[in-house]
Copies of this chain bind each other. A is one copy, B any other.
Amino acid sequence: MDRQALHDYTLTIIKEAGERIRKSFFETMYIETKSDANDLVTNIDKETEAFIVKKIHAYDESFRILGEEGMAEEEISSLEGVVWMVDPIDGTMNFVRQRRNFAISIAIYVDGVGQAGYIYDVVADELYFALKGQGAYMNGQRLSPLEALPLNEAIVGINAVWATPNPRVEHEGIIKLIHTLRGTRSLGSATLEIVAVATGRMDAYLSFRLSPWDIAAGIIIAQEVGAVSSTLDLNAVNLLNQDTFIVANPSIHKELVGDYITLK
Protein backbone atom coordinates (compact mmCIF):
# COMPACT_ATOMS: atom_id res chain seq x y z
CA MET A 1 0.00 0.00 0.00
CA ASP A 2 1.59 3.28 -1.16
CA ARG A 3 0.52 5.49 1.74
CA GLN A 4 1.31 8.82 0.11
CA ALA A 5 -0.59 7.88 -3.04
CA LEU A 6 -3.54 6.69 -0.97
CA HIS A 7 -3.46 9.92 1.06
CA ASP A 8 -3.50 12.06 -2.07
CA TYR A 9 -6.31 9.95 -3.50
CA THR A 10 -8.40 10.27 -0.32
CA LEU A 11 -7.98 14.04 -0.35
CA THR A 12 -9.39 14.17 -3.88
CA ILE A 13 -12.30 11.88 -2.90
CA ILE A 14 -13.36 13.97 0.10
CA LYS A 15 -13.05 17.28 -1.73
CA GLU A 16 -15.06 15.98 -4.68
CA ALA A 17 -17.70 14.58 -2.30
CA GLY A 18 -17.91 18.02 -0.66
CA GLU A 19 -18.33 19.70 -4.03
CA ARG A 20 -21.20 17.31 -4.83
CA ILE A 21 -22.89 18.16 -1.52
CA ARG A 22 -22.56 21.90 -2.19
CA LYS A 23 -24.17 21.40 -5.61
CA SER A 24 -27.00 19.43 -3.97
CA PHE A 25 -28.16 22.62 -2.21
CA PHE A 26 -29.78 23.59 -5.51
CA GLU A 27 -31.65 20.27 -5.90
CA THR A 28 -34.66 18.80 -4.14
CA MET A 29 -33.78 16.91 -0.98
CA TYR A 30 -35.62 13.78 0.19
CA ILE A 31 -35.63 13.25 3.93
CA GLU A 32 -36.41 10.00 5.76
CA THR A 33 -36.22 9.10 9.42
CA LYS A 34 -34.23 6.14 10.74
CA SER A 35 -34.33 4.88 14.33
CA ASP A 36 -36.46 7.79 15.55
CA ALA A 37 -37.90 11.14 14.39
CA ASN A 38 -34.65 12.92 15.24
CA ASP A 39 -32.45 10.46 13.32
CA LEU A 40 -32.58 11.75 9.76
CA VAL A 41 -31.12 10.54 6.50
CA THR A 42 -31.42 12.18 3.10
CA ASN A 43 -30.82 11.02 -0.43
CA ILE A 44 -27.69 13.20 -0.33
CA ASP A 45 -26.25 11.20 2.60
CA LYS A 46 -26.81 7.99 0.66
CA GLU A 47 -25.57 9.31 -2.68
CA THR A 48 -22.46 10.79 -1.07
CA GLU A 49 -21.63 7.55 0.71
CA ALA A 50 -22.21 5.54 -2.49
CA PHE A 51 -19.85 7.93 -4.31
CA ILE A 52 -17.14 7.55 -1.66
CA VAL A 53 -17.50 3.75 -1.52
CA LYS A 54 -17.25 3.51 -5.31
CA LYS A 55 -14.10 5.64 -5.31
CA ILE A 56 -12.47 3.58 -2.54
CA HIS A 57 -13.23 0.34 -4.32
CA ALA A 58 -11.95 1.78 -7.59
CA TYR A 59 -8.59 2.11 -5.82
CA ASP A 60 -8.64 -1.36 -4.32
CA GLU A 61 -11.62 -3.68 -4.48
CA SER A 62 -10.42 -5.57 -1.38
CA PHE A 63 -10.73 -2.61 1.01
CA ARG A 64 -13.48 -3.21 3.57
CA ILE A 65 -15.72 -0.23 4.35
CA LEU A 66 -17.93 0.53 7.35
CA GLY A 67 -20.28 3.33 6.35
CA GLU A 68 -23.11 4.98 8.25
CA GLU A 69 -25.64 4.41 5.48
CA GLY A 70 -24.52 0.84 4.72
CA MET A 71 -23.85 1.54 1.04
CA ALA A 72 -20.84 -0.79 1.04
CA GLU A 73 -23.21 -3.66 1.84
CA GLU A 74 -20.75 -5.31 4.18
CA GLU A 75 -20.87 -6.51 7.74
CA ILE A 76 -17.79 -5.46 9.67
CA SER A 77 -17.31 -7.56 12.77
CA SER A 78 -13.55 -7.27 13.11
CA LEU A 79 -10.92 -4.64 12.39
CA GLU A 80 -8.44 -7.01 10.78
CA GLY A 81 -6.71 -5.77 7.65
CA VAL A 82 -7.61 -2.46 6.02
CA VAL A 83 -10.94 -1.03 7.15
CA TRP A 84 -12.32 2.34 6.03
CA MET A 85 -14.88 4.15 8.17
CA VAL A 86 -17.10 6.60 6.32
CA ASP A 87 -19.70 9.09 7.50
CA PRO A 88 -20.90 10.92 4.38
CA ILE A 89 -22.70 13.66 6.35
CA ASP A 90 -22.11 13.92 10.09
CA GLY A 91 -24.68 16.34 11.45
CA THR A 92 -27.52 15.53 9.08
CA MET A 93 -29.95 17.66 11.10
CA ASN A 94 -27.67 20.67 10.60
CA PHE A 95 -27.31 19.77 6.92
CA VAL A 96 -31.10 19.74 6.46
CA ARG A 97 -31.95 22.75 8.62
CA GLN A 98 -28.87 24.96 8.46
CA ARG A 99 -27.03 24.04 5.28
CA ARG A 100 -23.87 24.35 7.38
CA ASN A 101 -22.16 22.84 10.44
CA PHE A 102 -21.92 19.32 9.02
CA ALA A 103 -18.90 17.36 7.79
CA ILE A 104 -17.71 14.38 5.77
CA SER A 105 -15.59 11.95 7.79
CA ILE A 106 -13.27 9.28 6.35
CA ALA A 107 -10.78 7.16 8.28
CA ILE A 108 -8.39 4.37 7.34
CA TYR A 109 -7.56 1.71 9.91
CA VAL A 110 -5.06 -1.12 9.49
CA ASP A 111 -5.47 -4.02 11.93
CA GLY A 112 -7.41 -1.72 14.25
CA VAL A 113 -4.84 1.08 14.30
CA GLY A 114 -5.85 4.45 12.85
CA GLN A 115 -3.50 5.41 10.03
CA ALA A 116 -5.24 8.39 8.45
CA GLY A 117 -8.21 10.55 9.36
CA TYR A 118 -10.04 13.17 7.26
CA ILE A 119 -12.84 15.53 8.30
CA TYR A 120 -14.18 18.06 5.81
CA ASP A 121 -16.36 20.94 7.02
CA VAL A 122 -17.94 21.33 3.62
CA VAL A 123 -19.51 24.79 3.82
CA ALA A 124 -16.68 26.43 5.77
CA ASP A 125 -14.31 24.69 3.29
CA GLU A 126 -12.08 23.55 6.15
CA LEU A 127 -10.32 20.24 5.56
CA TYR A 128 -8.71 18.59 8.59
CA PHE A 129 -6.49 15.53 8.28
CA ALA A 130 -3.83 13.58 10.10
CA LEU A 131 -1.50 10.76 9.18
CA LYS A 132 -0.44 8.68 12.17
CA GLY A 133 2.71 10.11 13.73
CA GLN A 134 2.98 12.95 11.23
CA GLY A 135 0.87 15.69 12.85
CA ALA A 136 -2.59 17.09 12.14
CA TYR A 137 -3.43 19.79 9.61
CA MET A 138 -6.25 22.18 8.76
CA ASN A 139 -6.17 23.47 5.19
CA GLY A 140 -2.48 22.69 5.06
CA GLN A 141 -1.61 24.47 8.31
CA ARG A 142 -0.20 22.26 11.06
CA LEU A 143 -2.22 22.26 14.29
CA SER A 144 -0.36 23.09 17.51
CA PRO A 145 -0.04 20.66 20.42
CA LEU A 146 -2.68 21.31 23.10
CA GLU A 147 -1.73 23.32 26.18
CA ALA A 148 -2.68 22.19 29.68
CA LEU A 149 -5.43 24.03 31.56
CA PRO A 150 -7.48 23.50 34.73
CA LEU A 151 -11.00 22.08 34.46
CA ASN A 152 -12.61 25.30 35.69
CA GLU A 153 -11.22 27.11 32.64
CA ALA A 154 -12.38 24.47 30.17
CA ILE A 155 -15.00 24.80 27.45
CA VAL A 156 -16.68 21.46 26.85
CA GLY A 157 -18.95 20.26 24.07
CA ILE A 158 -21.92 18.43 25.56
CA ASN A 159 -25.56 18.13 24.57
CA ALA A 160 -27.93 19.60 27.18
CA VAL A 161 -29.97 16.39 27.20
CA TRP A 162 -27.29 14.70 29.34
CA ALA A 163 -27.94 17.24 32.12
CA THR A 164 -31.50 15.90 32.27
CA PRO A 165 -32.67 12.50 33.60
CA ASN A 166 -31.65 9.95 30.95
CA PRO A 167 -30.96 6.21 30.71
CA ARG A 168 -27.19 6.41 30.18
CA VAL A 169 -25.51 8.65 32.75
CA GLU A 170 -26.28 9.99 36.23
CA HIS A 171 -27.30 13.53 35.33
CA GLU A 172 -26.38 14.90 38.78
CA GLY A 173 -22.72 14.43 37.89
CA ILE A 174 -23.22 16.26 34.59
CA ILE A 175 -24.90 19.14 36.46
CA LYS A 176 -21.90 19.34 38.80
CA LEU A 177 -19.61 19.31 35.78
CA ILE A 178 -21.51 22.13 34.04
CA HIS A 179 -21.23 24.26 37.17
CA THR A 180 -17.48 23.58 37.35
CA LEU A 181 -16.58 24.39 33.75
CA ARG A 182 -16.04 27.80 32.23
CA GLY A 183 -18.70 27.01 29.66
CA THR A 184 -20.38 24.47 27.40
CA ARG A 185 -21.13 24.43 23.70
CA SER A 186 -23.22 22.20 21.47
CA LEU A 187 -22.80 22.25 17.71
CA GLY A 188 -24.83 19.22 16.59
CA SER A 189 -21.96 17.46 14.80
CA ALA A 190 -19.67 15.01 16.62
CA THR A 191 -16.90 15.28 14.04
CA LEU A 192 -16.85 19.08 14.19
CA GLU A 193 -16.84 18.98 17.99
CA ILE A 194 -13.87 16.58 17.90
CA VAL A 195 -11.91 18.90 15.58
CA ALA A 196 -12.88 21.79 17.87
CA VAL A 197 -10.97 19.93 20.60
CA ALA A 198 -8.07 19.18 18.23
CA THR A 199 -7.75 22.89 17.39
CA GLY A 200 -8.07 23.98 21.05
CA ARG A 201 -11.40 25.78 20.46
CA MET A 202 -12.92 23.43 23.02
CA ASP A 203 -11.13 21.35 25.63
CA ALA A 204 -13.29 18.24 25.61
CA TYR A 205 -16.29 16.76 23.85
CA LEU A 206 -18.35 13.93 25.24
CA SER A 207 -21.36 11.93 24.20
CA PHE A 208 -23.13 8.79 25.37
CA ARG A 209 -24.12 7.22 22.09
CA LEU A 210 -21.80 7.54 19.15
CA SER A 211 -21.08 5.13 16.31
CA PRO A 212 -17.63 4.17 14.98
CA TRP A 213 -17.96 6.36 11.86
CA ASP A 214 -18.70 9.43 14.09
CA ILE A 215 -15.34 9.21 15.83
CA ALA A 216 -13.00 7.11 13.66
CA ALA A 217 -11.34 10.00 11.79
CA GLY A 218 -11.56 12.53 14.60
CA ILE A 219 -9.62 10.47 17.13
CA ILE A 220 -6.69 10.10 14.72
CA ILE A 221 -6.60 13.88 14.16
CA ALA A 222 -7.02 14.58 17.89
CA GLN A 223 -4.26 12.18 18.87
CA GLU A 224 -1.73 14.05 16.74
CA VAL A 225 -2.11 17.19 18.90
CA GLY A 226 -2.03 15.22 22.15
CA ALA A 227 -5.75 14.87 22.85
CA VAL A 228 -6.88 11.68 24.57
CA SER A 229 -9.88 9.63 23.44
CA SER A 230 -11.65 6.86 25.37
CA THR A 231 -15.04 5.53 26.28
CA LEU A 232 -16.60 7.12 29.35
CA ASP A 233 -15.65 4.10 31.45
CA LEU A 234 -12.04 4.82 30.43
CA ASN A 235 -11.66 1.89 28.04
CA ALA A 236 -10.27 2.11 24.53
CA VAL A 237 -12.75 3.67 22.11
CA ASN A 238 -15.16 1.21 20.55
CA LEU A 239 -14.83 1.06 16.77
CA LEU A 240 -17.23 -1.82 16.21
CA ASN A 241 -20.34 -0.70 18.10
CA GLN A 242 -22.20 2.33 19.36
CA ASP A 243 -20.73 3.37 22.71
CA THR A 244 -19.94 6.30 25.01
CA PHE A 245 -17.11 8.61 24.00
CA ILE A 246 -14.89 11.41 25.18
CA VAL A 247 -12.03 13.27 23.54
CA ALA A 248 -10.22 15.70 25.79
CA ASN A 249 -7.18 17.79 26.50
CA PRO A 250 -5.00 15.32 28.46
CA SER A 251 -4.77 17.75 31.41
CA ILE A 252 -8.50 17.35 32.18
CA HIS A 253 -9.42 13.92 30.76
CA LYS A 254 -9.12 11.75 33.89
CA GLU A 255 -10.49 14.36 36.31
CA LEU A 256 -13.50 15.04 34.12
CA VAL A 257 -14.40 11.37 33.69
CA GLY A 258 -13.39 10.22 37.17
CA ASP A 259 -15.04 12.96 39.21
CA TYR A 260 -18.18 13.72 37.19
CA ILE A 261 -19.25 10.75 35.04
CA THR A 262 -21.21 7.86 36.53
CA LEU A 263 -22.58 5.58 33.83
CA LYS A 264 -25.82 3.68 34.44
Contact = CB atoms under 8 A, between A and B. Distances in A.
Contacts of A99: 201
Interface stretch (A14-22, A103-111, A182-190, A240-248): A182-190
A161 B179 contact: yes
Nearest to A156: B160
Taking each of A99, A100, A159, A186, which has the highest tally of chain B beta carbons within 10 Å of its own beta carbon?
A: A186
Given A97-B200, A201-B100, A38 B183 contact: yes
A182 B100 contact: no
A181 B38 CA distance: 9
Contact of A164 (B93, B100, B163): B163
A99 B100 CA distance: 19
Contacts of A201: 97-100
B186 A160 contact: yes
Contacts of A98: 196, 201-202
B155 A178 contact: no
B184 A161 contact: yes
A175 interface: yes
Contacts of A196: 98
B179 A164 contact: yes
A260 to B, nearest CB: 13
A166 to B, nearest CB: 9
A153 to B, nearest CB: 8
Contacts of A187: 185, 187
A58 interface: no
A178 B200 contact: no
Contacts of A178: 160-161, 164
A184 B160 contact: yes
Contacts of A182: 37-38, 93
A97 B155 contact: yes
Given A164-B178, A184-B186, 17 more contacts: A37-B182, A38-B182, A93-B182, A97-B200, A98-B201, A99-B201, A124-B124, A159-B160, A159-B183, A159-B184, A160-B163, A160-B186, A161-B184, A163-B163, A163-B164, A164-B175, A186-B186
13 contacts: A38-B183, A93-B155, A93-B182, A97-B155, A97-B200, A97-B201, A97-B202, A99-B201, A100-B201, A161-B179, A164-B175, A164-B179, A187-B187
